[in-house]
Amino acid sequence: MSPIWQSLLANLALVSSLLVAWDLASDLTDRLPQRTQSLLLGVILCFGTLVSMASAQQFVTGFFFDLRSPLVAAAAFFGGWPAALIAAAGAIAYRLHLGGLGTASGVMGIFLAAALGLAWHNIAENRGRTLATIFGLGLSLALASLINLFTVTAEIRASLIEKSTVPVFFLTLLSTVIIGVLLDRQIRRRELSTANMIYSAMVRELPDCLNMKDLDGRFLAANPATASLMRAGSVENLIGKTDFDFYPRDLADQFRKDELAALQSGFTLRIDQPATFPDGREGWLSTAKTPFRDQSGRVAGLITYNRDVTDQKRSAQLKDEFISTVSHELRTPLTSIRGSLGLISAGVTGELPPKAANLIKIAHANSERLVHLINDILDIEKIESGKMSFQISRMPVRPLVEQAIAASSNYMSDKNVRIVLVDDAPRAEANVDPDRLHQVLANLLSNAIKFSPADETVAVRFERRPKDMLRISVSDRGEGIPEAFRDRIFGKFEQADASSTRAKGGTGLGLSIVKMIAEKFGGSVSFDSEEGKGTTFHVDLPEARAEKARTHEVNGVAALDDRMRVLICEDEADISAVIAALLDAEGFSSDVAPDIASAKALLKARSYAALTLDIKLAGESGITLFRDVRASSLNSDVPVIVISAVADEARRSLNGSAVGIIDWLEKPIEPERLHAALGKIVNSKVDRRPKILHVEDDEGVLAVMSEGLGSDASVTFARTLQEARNAVTRDRFDLVILDIGLPDGSGLDLLSDLPHETAVMVFSAAEFDGQLGDQVKMVMTKTKASELDVARLVRAFLPAAQGGSATA
């Protein structure tokens, strides 16, 4: 046998001894910190390095083969920099002690081995320690050893390279891989043993039936609860056995099939199934089977969790029977009781004495509360158990909201709370179950009415939000939600603790139901509240829209979704819904006001192209509203369409003072008459002249510019920055003539408020050298250009709405 192979075998024997030493040392230090164990590994491999170098075989003058590089690299690879430092320092010191022609080359080889070991240590920490990383370490170390051959002295270089290239590469690669694999397997075995010990201790201490099995279904670790369940006597009687030793054959077969299915899929399998237990009783067993993998990623066994759920199943069955009883046996008589009390309270059976009538009223109110409680409890149970059916389809939202408003209009009617509808999302659609959305809105509306002061207004508004979301908001002007209660508001049976709140009644389940249903639609519920000022609940739903924008034709005139808006003044919800549908078909959007106070509030808040007016509005006179509107500063010239059952009577009462009334329509409405009336509104509103906003605080400039522009353009004047902002909020302009120096700020601040397509001409005393943005098409300086020059440029510019920027 050649000296090289003799040296290799001797060194492998040395490696075996080192592994035994490391294993014994690890037993003594497994509770010490990781860095201390790394230092210990470095000491042991450093000792092995010294022994290997001392027993090295010389096969070329001045060159010895040993395991210094593989051992130093292994120390760095497995132990990190502490082990690398110790092993490399010891090896370098001993090599310097030996001296000779190859000293420099030997030191360089040790240094390269430590560096490569640390590099692959970092790679293994990020990607995992595998056979591939060990082989990569061996290959890189072998290549480095070849390169290191060229660092020897010239006297032995030729002979060394000729005789040692292949042996050095092969032996370095082989020895590094062998040492790495052996150390890796030993470390993994210790880690697995430690994990098994921890797991076994955990299994013994846990109260539930958590166990570990091998791939053949034999128990490796078991819980005392499992031993008790299987009537095995003790945990020791389970180890090494399978379910076939304790359960009936058919049940054990099913358990094994479940185990194999979990092992094959690699995922946890959970199942509840009827079982005959070892003591002979019938029941239910809940099982979970989870494959676990070793560090190489292979499935090494199975964690099982078996639990007797017979009592829980029986409880669930009792609950289902109770729900069924409530649903069928309690609802029916309670409905009859509520109906009978309602008829008596309404005087159908004749007039009652005052005391008796009051008692009947109390009984009827409490029967209503009991019905609501039962319905809410059943709904909560259905949603949580997944038994509530949802027939989701694409639906227009406004009719559903109007139906909910109509259904809620008689709730607590003695409080005289009004409901107004504001539609800021024309023709919005969503994928919902109409009955369930009605339930959501009914809950929110009843809450809003309940907590509103008498004679107040509840506002229902829907609008479009970012990311194609539709928001339905219900606002009241009540006392608001206490700060301490806000975190619990969507909980079950939650109510604010204030006595005034409890006096309102309610089950405390309504908002919880609202939240669950909204989430079933893919939406969410939120709220804004300020104590003393009121609360707004928001229901956000994904909007179902085939197009981002829609175009409608009104008497041949196209209008986008920011269509002309009409205010419907009507106290009958069904009639207002019909009018809204007719308006929508004609290309108008609409809001609804059920009384005079609500109509005035909406007219004050926004501009309308027209309003429809019922003469008898919630017991009040619509004529009074008409006269108030004409006398106000806001919407004073708004066109009016009277829609009333007494239209002729109202026409006579106004006696010629009906300025601005487009038409008088009798109920029921004739769509053709409404179409003609709306056509008059469109013709009066449509102005095809270019729209110009002139922002200027000098009256003389305004007058001259107006004269210069003449009647070819529709000009709106704004003397302050705020007036200009209000104007661009209300209307769209083709061109803005902008002065910079305004009493309340810089005119340039208006640019961020303008739509991108609106052109801007700056006409100011200030001079500008640079660009002001793409919107600014021209910059003209006062005194350098007259107002009439600017007017002529504007008139020339408007027909060609394009063009680059110019400066004068």
Confidence at residue 508, expressed as pLDDT on a 0 to 100 scale? 65
pLDDT tens sequence across 272-313: 877 777 777 888 878 888 887 765 667 878 877 777 788 877
Same domain, 713 and 788: yes
Amino acid residing at 40: L
Which structural domain range is residue 356 located in?
Answer: 314-385
The reply to whether 168 and 215 lie within a common domain is: no
User: What's the CATH code of the domain at 218?
Assistant: 3.30.450.20
Last residue of a domain, one of 548, 580, 605: 548
> Mean pLDDT in the chain?
78
Q: Is there a domain that residue 240 lies in?
A: yes
Is the model's pLDDT at 174 over the cut of 70?
Answer: yes
Please report, as a single letter, which amino acid is at residue 129. R
Confidence band for 539, pLDDT divided at 50, 70 and 90: very high
pLDDT band with cut points at 50, 70 and 90 for residue 473: very high
Q: Report residue 542's pLDDT band, with 50, 70 and 90 as the boundaries.
A: very high
719 in the same domain as 671:
no
The reply to whether 419 falls in a domain is: no
What tokens does 280 get?
Answer: 């002979």
Nearest-Å Rg of the Cα atoms of the chain is 44
In a domain, 98, yes or no: yes
Residues 109, 155, single domain; the answer is yes
Q: Of the residues 284, 308, 332, which one is the last residue of a structural domain?
A: 308
pLDDT at 471 over 80: yes
Residue 159 has pLDDT above 70, yes or no: no
pLDDT at residue 196 is higher than 90? no
Does 330 reside within a domain?
A: yes
Q: Which of 313, 290, 306 has its CA nearest to residue 223?
A: 306
677 and 590 within one domain: yes
Domain count across the chain: 6
Report pLDDT digits (tens) over 697-735: 887 777 777 777 776 677 888 888 888 888 888 777 888
Host H or E run for residue 129: none
pLDDT at 110: 87
Residue 420 within any structural domain of the chain:
no
Question: Is 553 inside any structural domain?
Answer: no
pLDDT per position as a tens digit, 369-384: 777 777 777 777 777 6
Beta carbons of 424 and 464 less than 8 angstroms apart: yes
> Percent of the chain, pLDDT > 70?
77
Task: In whole angstroms, give the CA distance from residue 203 to residue 197.
Answer: 10
For residue range 576-621, list pLDDT tens digits in order. 888 888 888 888 889 998 888 888 888 887 888 888 988 887 677 7
Tell me which of 772 and 403 has the higher pLDDT.
Answer: 403
Same domain for 23 and 134, yes or no, is yes
In the block, which residue shows the tokens 């469109």? Answer: 682
34 and 175 housed in the same domain: yes
pLDDT greater than 90 at residue 668? no
CA–CA dist 566, 588 (Å, integer): 7
- Is the per-residue pLDDT at 243 higher than 90? no
204 or 561, which is more confident? 204
Which range among 244-248, 388-392, 683-687 shows the weakest confidence by mean pLDDT? 683-687
Point out which residues pair with 559 in neighbouring strands.
Answer: 552
Q: Does residue 704 share a domain with residue 620?
A: no
Residues 297 and 326 both lie in one domain:
no
Last residue of a domain, one of 548, 580, 595: 548
CATH number at residue 163: 1.10.1760.20
CA angle 143, 147, 153 (to 5 degrees): 150
77-120 pLDDT per residue, tens = 988 888 889 989 998 898 888 877 667 778 888 889 999 999 99
Task: Clarify whether residues 578 and 533 are in a common domain.
Answer: no
Q: Is the pLDDT of residue 160 over 60?
A: no
Same domain, 53 and 165: yes
Is the model's pLDDT at 548 over the cut of 90? no
pLDDT in tens, 301-346: 887 777 778 887 787 777 667 766 666 666 667 777 877 887 888 7
Domain identity same for 107 and 7: yes
Q: What is the CATH number of the domain that holds 589?
A: 3.40.50.2300
**pLDDT value of residue 445:** 92
Task: Determine contact, residues 203/223, Cβ cutoff 8 Å.
Answer: yes
Q: Measure the CA–CA gap between 89 and 83, rounded to whole angstroms.
A: 10
Each residue's pLDDT tens digit, 506-525: 556 778 888 888 888 889 99
φ, ψ of residue 81 to 5 degrees: the values are: -65, -30
